[in-house]
Amino acid sequence: MITYLAVNWWASWYPGAEPGGGGYIAQRIFSAKNERHSLLAALWFNIAHYTIRPWPWILVALSAMVLFPELSPGDQAKGIGYIQAMVTLLPAGFLGLMLASFFAAYMSTLSTHLNWGSSYLINDLYKRFIKPNASEKHYVLISRLATLLIAGLSVITTLQMTTVEGAWKFLIAIGAGTGSVYILRWFWWRINAWSEISAMVAAFIISIILQFGVKWNVDNPKQFVAMTLTTVAGTTIIWIIVTLFTAPVDKEKLKEFYRRVRPAGFWKPIKQELPDVVVTDNLKADLINWICGCALIYCVLFGLGKLIFGQTIMGISLFVIAFVLWMFISNDLKKRVKEDN
């Protein structure tokens, strides 16, 4: 439990929850009208994603455990209880709608990640380093082949997994240790592309060795924790060493970034050359807002649970605390945006 609460949230990368801001968060930031709205949009995304969306799943899971006691814990981990509840309880029309939604969600995710992976391979690797001056027709052909390659590797990987929980743990394990780079790149000028690349490669190699060489099993809680902590420690040591022994990002590019983002933290060498750029970010205030944001999300998560299970007073109390925390964060951001202006 301590590993989940104190390590996994910052140490690991996995789709939809990248430490330091991923694509889902960026969509909300880019579509907002100012910095305050972008931060509130990111906060609302976390509330909706981590507190509202899980409860329908939780309720179905709890109901399935009561309705189908003959299912073993292994069957429940594989999602059999969810399917059993669908087949047993839904009438024909709703069952068909549910199946259609499953197919739509599956195809949406599958096409996104296949195209996403192919785009990385072609634009960031093949087109840049292997064949930079080929025709668009050539790149389209290679991208199709890359998509087939990724699909084939995905099939091989899937055949090694027995549960959905195991799949998510596998993703967390192969990304353990990369999260610190994604966070610190905003606060430390010295981090470069090799920092991220070395972290990704090291995390993948270490976790694969532990899973298939040492034979640690992600479905075993103690072994998963040991694998996570070992991978995080090894990856962190490697990417820090690589960072210190490789050249920093071009100074003009760092200046451009500093002017646009105005980051707080360890930017002294760049800050000294840009005395006209005023940084109003306050790490102490950011830390307080972060603590309040985490408390807000947990209050909403457990407050919903208390209301659902009839503990009304406790549920309302948690929602009142969440509202107070929301107002505190919102007012602080409003005040700081005014200072920026």
Assess contact for 118 and 150: CB atoms under 8 A.
yes
Residue 60: is it exposed, middle or buried by C-beta count within 10 angstroms (0-12/13-18/19+)?
A: middle
Rounded Cα–Cα distance for residues 119 and 126 (Å): 10
Structure tokens at 142: 């290679």
> What is the predicted pLDDT for the residue at 175?
82
> What is the predicted pLDDT for the residue at 283?
82
Rounded Cα–Cα distance for residues 111 and 117 (Å): 10
Q: Which residues of the chain have pLDDT under 50?
A: none
Rounded Cα–Cα distance for residues 3 and 268 (Å): 33
> What is the predicted pLDDT for the residue at 80?
84
Neighbours of 173 (CB within 10 A): 24
> What is the predicted pLDDT for the residue at 338?
62
> What is the predicted pLDDT for the residue at 339?
56
> What is the predicted pLDDT for the residue at 103?
93
- In the chain, the amino acid numbered 315 is G
- H or E segment and range at residue 9: helix 9-11
> What is the predicted pLDDT for the residue at 112?
85
pTM of the model: 0.78
Phi-psi region of 109 (alpha: psi -120 to 50; beta: other; left: phi over 0): alpha
- In the chain, the amino acid numbered 46 is N
User: In this structure, is the dihedral angle defined by the CA atoms of residues 63, 65, 70 and 74, taken in order, positive or negative?
Assistant: positive
Structure tokens at 15: 């789709």
- H or E segment and range at residue 320: helix 312-340
> What is the predicted pLDDT for the residue at 19?
63
Structure tokens at 97: 């709608």
Rounded Cα–Cα distance for residues 227 and 224 (Å): 5
Structure tokens at 69: 């006691």
> What is the predicted pLDDT for the residue at 39?
82
176: three-class secondary structure by DSSP: coil
> What is the predicted pLDDT for the residue at 192?
95
Assess contact for 55 and 48: CB atoms under 8 A.
no
